[in-house]
Amino acid sequence: MTNMEFSELTAVYQKLEEISGRIEMTSIISDFLGSAPDDELPTLILFLQGRAFPPWSDKELGIGGKLMIKAISNISGFPDEKVVDKVREKGDTGLAAEELLVNKTQTTLFKEKLTLQKVSDNLNKLAGLTGKGAQDKKISYINELLSFASPVESRYLVKIILEELRLGVGRGVVRDAIAGAFEVDAALVDRAYSLTSDLGEVARTAKKEGNAGLEKAEMKTGVPVEVMLAQKVGSIEEALEKFSPASFEVKYDGARIQIHKEGDRITLFTRRLESVTKQFPEIVEEARENITAKSAIVEGELVAIQDGRHPRPFQDLSRRIKRKYNIDEISQKIPVEINLFDAIYVEGKSKIDAAFKDRREILEKIVSPTEKFRIADDLITEDVKEAGKFYQKALDLGHEGVMVKNLDAPYQPGSRVGHMYKVKPIMETLDLVLVGATWGEGRRANWLASYLLAVLDPDSGQLLTIGRMGTGFTDEEFKSMTELLKEQVLEEAGKEVKLRPSVVVEVAYEEIQKSPTYESGYALRFPRLVRIREDKGVDDADTLTRVEEILGSRKGQ
370/162 Cα distance (integer angstroms): 44
Instruction: Provide, for the chain, the percentages of residues in helix, strand and coil under a 3-state DSSP scheme, each rounded to the nearest 5.
Output: 40, 25, 35
Nearest C-alpha neighbor of 379 from the set 480, 249, 281, 218: 249
Strand partners, 73: none
266/500 Cα distance (integer angstroms): 32
331/362 Cα distance (integer angstroms): 30
339/256 Cα distance (integer angstroms): 10
Instruction: Show which residues are catalytic.
Output: 251
| Residues 6 or more apart whose Cβ sits within 8 Å of residue 550 | 428, 430, 512
| Residues 6 or more apart whose Cβ sits within 8 Å of residue 354 | 362, 410, 411
Q: Is residue 448 within 8 Å of 437, Cβ to Cβ? A: yes
What's the DSSP call for residue 20? Answer: -
- Give per-residue burial for 433-470: e unless 16+ CB within 10 Å, then b: bbbbbbbbeeebeebbbbbbbbbbbebbbbbbbbbbbb
| Residues 6 or more apart whose Cβ sits within 8 Å of residue 265 | 221, 222
Strand runs labelled E in 354-447: 373-375, 378-381, 401-405, 416-423, 430-439
What's the DSSP call for residue 338? Answer: E
